Structure 1
Amino acid sequence: MTDAPIATTGAPLLQVKGLKKHFAMSKPFLNRLLEGGETQTVKAVDGLDLEIPRGKTLSLVGESGCGKSTVARLIMGLSNPTGGSIVFDGTDISRAPAGQPAAIRRRMQMIFQDPYASLNPRWRVGDIIAEPLRTYGLCETREAERREVDRLLEFVGLNAKDGDKFPHEFSGGQRQRISIARAISTKPEFLVCDEPTSALDVSVQAQILNLMREMQRELGLTYLFISHDLAVVNFMSDWIGVMYLGRLVEVSPAAELFANPRHPYTRLLLDTIPDLDMSKRDRQPVAGEVPNPINPPAGCHFHPRCPLANDRCRREAPALRVYDGDARASCHAAEEGRDAAAIAAQGPVAAPLQAAV
């Protein structure tokens, strides 16, 4: 086993290397001067490396606050990185101004988590979907613009006449379809999907997920999919990355990660899946709480909660290493084989649920 960057088969459309985002949490300078106190920084993203091949889906999972949505905002240019690079189809966009370069940004779009907050309530649906078309000058006339809006509405399963309505006239699932129509209006190649179904009920989730899978097949889209629902992730993903306190602790092909997780934190997450086989196997209890991100533990950030932690874990941050099945994990226990006995005693993880049919 050797150190290696995260790489997947096929030509990567998006490459992220050493990505960092730090947020200052200190009191104002004058307050620190008069009252004392040190500068405080939250490392929301702390050296992330990943690649996404064309036409594939990489999902990021992890507990709330691990940095998933921050990664999405950095890639889309909604926030400036503290360090690292973001390369889209050979162009470094990590230091570009918001919305620039336009030729690249047109090929990247985002579906937001809350369909109730992401649509302007004062605009008609037709104007919401047409806004990207106008921004990038993709339609020469208003008639052509209206035809394209009607086509997009029908493509996502709505009626062309819905363009004259306002967002409050639609259900949550219909609003998310409108958001999807807006996202694909510029004919993008890459979509960032930040928990696009978490605000929807289960039956509507299945409809939206099936729509997204169909879009990927028909349009050749590449997805960065962010979710905390492992059943949804299993349904959507080619690759899965697991984040913990701003770091990527494991990345594997989806089938390999569910069948043979390497990192103890990944096994912890998979233990939350209901055991449909009713095997009554022992599950490792979760120890402790998520550490304070302002002052994370030294070494492996997960060691205070890990049953396999030793002195090396407490002092030395593990690097991502390659394992069988093209999996990568940053875990000293996996590297040294200390996890083998624990995994054998615990038994296989539960079979993943299917999110949609």
Structure 2
Amino acid sequence: MLIRACGIRKSFRTGGRKVEVLKGCSLCIGERETVVLFGESGCGKTTLGKVLLMLEKPDAGEVFYRDVELTGLRNLGHLRRKLQLIPQNPGEALDPRWKIYDSLAEPLRVHKLADNREEELEMVMSFAEMVGLKEEHLHRRPAEVSGGELQRVAIARALILEPEFVVCDEPTSMLDVSVQAAIVRMLMDFQKKLGISYLFITHDFSLAKAVADRMYVMGGGIVVKELRKEELQGLPPESLKLHKLLTASLRP
């Protein structure tokens, strides 16, 4: 397994009280696999995704990347480039003062992946083209491009490091329907080219059915059910209510 999480617990303090968001979650993701984490808003999906990337430290439990226990490391070092996030709101992940070029070049500079300015330019231009951005976009700032273009920037920024595992946190939820399909197709094309494993976080059942090799259903901070692709395809269409799936999973 590429990614394995066991018994993840995570709490936050809010309004003076402790709220347990994750209550012993376990899951695994294989190489070149697309796994969907499905559930209603507020059930802990995004927090679990961030824990898998060690962007949030769990209170208890372990996360493994291949055979390395990430929860035991103080600094992920070179492993960080292998584990990337495509956020739900790309505007929040990009410096509004920077031009798009610098947002794409920054990961290369941090990880020292380009030997010189020419090589950096070549890599930035290559990935910009792969996600459908034109050279003119690279000279603009985040506020000067559309939502779809901004999401393409976030995708290029994550994939320019050629990671092995990417968490896609509601990657199309803030886009027009006409743009959503193109973004998903692009992500799946990258998976074929680069051999990436994905965790798609979503509450969109039609998206889950379209991309998932397997799906974990979350509710109330726990993983309540795992569905294989063939089981998922056999479920009712988009009208299926999450509470029906949760109820069915809890039956003896």
TM-score (norm 2): 0.93
For the residues of structure 1 that align with 2:182 and 2:232, how far apart are their CA atoms?
Answer: 25
Larger RCO (CA within 8 A; separation ≥ 6): 2
Match of 1:204 in 2: 179
Structure 2 counterpart of 1:24: 13
Q: Is the 8 A contact 1:193 1:225 kept in 2?
A: yes
Is 2:91 aligned against 1:116? yes
Give distance in 1, aligned partners of 2:213 and 2:242. 29
Rounded Cα–Cα distance in structure 2 between residues aligned with 1:110 and 1:139: 21
Which of the numbers 41, 51, 66 marks the counterpart of 1:74?
A: 51
One of 69, 72, 92 as aligned partner of 2:69: 92
- The separation in 1 between residues aligned to 2:96 and 2:72, in whole angstroms, is 32
Q: Residues 41 and 145 (structure 1 numbering): CA distance in 2 closer, same or farther, change over 3 Å?
A: same
Question: What letter corresponds to residue 221 of structure 1 in structure 2?
Answer: I
- 1:147-186 mapped onto 2 (5 Å cutoff): 147-186=122-161
Tell me which residue corresponds to 1:54: 31
Q: Helix, strand or coil: the match of 1:106?
A: helix
Counterpart residue identity of residue 48, structure 2:
V
Contact 1:17 1:47 in 2 (8 A): yes
Q: Which has the higher helix share?
A: 2
What's the counterpart of residue 14 of structure 1? 3
Aligned-pair Cα RMSD in Å: 2.1
For the residue of structure 1 that corresponds to 2:93, the secondary structure is coil
Per-residue CA shift, 1:57-82, capped at 9, x if unaligned? 11111111110000011122221100
Deviations 1:27-71 (A, max 9, x none): 3xxxxxxxxxxxx43221111111101000111111111100000
Unaligned runs of 5+ in 1: 1-11, 28-39, 261-269, 276-283, 288-301, 309-328, 336-357
Counterpart AA for 1:171 = S
2:51 partner amino acid = L
* 1:103-252 matches, cutoff 5 A: 103-252=78-227
**How many aligned residue pairs are there?**
251
CA contact 2:35–2:214 (8 Å) conserved in 1: yes
* Code of the aligned partner of 2:52: I
Q: Secondary structure at the match of 1:110?
A: strand
Query: In structure 2, how many angstroms separate the alpha carbons of the residues matched to 1:62 and 1:20?
Result: 17
Provide the rounded CA distance (Å) in 1 between the counterparts of 2:179 and 2:195: 23
State the alpha-carbon separation in 2 of the partners of residues 146 and 161 from structure 1: 14
Instruction: State the identity %.
Output: 36
Contact in 1 for aligned 2:137/2:145 (Cα 8 Å): no
TM-score normalised to the size of structure 1?
Answer: 0.66
Residue pair 1:125, 1:167 contacting (<8 A) in 2 also: yes
In proportion to residue count, which structure has more strand? 2
* Structure 2 gap segments, 5+ residues each: none
> Highest Rg: 1 or 2?
1
Superposition misfits of 4+ residues, deviation over 3 angstroms: 24-27, 284-287
